Amino acid sequence: MSQPNKLKTQATAFYILILYIVCQLSGLLLFIPGVRDIFLQFIDREPNESGIVLVAWWSTIAFAITFIVSFIIISRNKNFWNVYKGEKSSIGESIGWGILGFFLVLVGQTVAVNIELALGITLGSQNTETIIKVTEIAPIMILSTVLFAPILEELVFRRVVFGSIIQTQNFWIAGLISAIVFATIHNEFTHILIYAVSGFIFAFLYYKTKRLLTSIISHMLLNGFVTIAQIYGDEIQNWVKEIQTIIVFIQ
């Protein structure tokens, strides 16, 4: 990649990073006196739920706008995706690694959880619990959690952060730095190890296939799995018990 193209690509990465930060901070507008009330008048829900619904819609719309604007910016720079030398994995291989990556993340998180337990850290993510509560009241939040958030986070933390560092450093340094940044942004330092492990595996998947599609698939599957498990956990357990009862009866 020539120097002018490289500078242009780095500029594109910087614009996307700034856009993502603005998206994350946009929710602060709801704390401006009067702004929250303007939007609440369009929500026909119980008073104790209207604020939660507003947050869900605001988050989803903010992510959607950021997603659209980001790819408009990227479309102006054809070299943005050319981070690695060598041939990229095929779409089929990338999808396969994306599915496999989901299970790798589950294994990695299991190891991280056991390390946290050994250190006396209590299980349970406040961040996840909050998102699930919002989703139960306002299902539109699923679009933000399972679709837009994984795509934007992979775009920012894997392509922008990891992709920029890997051009001058080795995989381990780039992967570690991007994983720590990814974990830190979730603002849950008690469980920073779990987020860091996930971020590192996502970086490996991107590095392995040279396609961001791979880590996006794994990230989407992870968020979708967590959402379903949290919301429908009791129903799934009852369903499994019924299946076991039927099997025992047949035997």
Name the residues annotated as catalytic. 153, 186
The rounded distance, in Å, linking the Cα atoms of 182 and 164 is 14
The rounded distance, in Å, linking the Cα atoms of 203 and 198 is 9
Tell me the one-letter amino acid at 217: I
Neighbours of 150 (CB within 10 A): 22
C-alpha R_g of the chain = 20
Q: Scanning the structure block, which residue is given the tokens 């614009």?
A: 15
Burial environment of residue 42 by CB neighbours within 10 A (0 to 12, 13 to 18, 19 or more): exposed
Residues in the chain: 251
The rounded distance, in Å, linking the Cα atoms of 166 and 174 is 5
Backbone angles phi, psi at 139, to 5 degrees: -55, -20
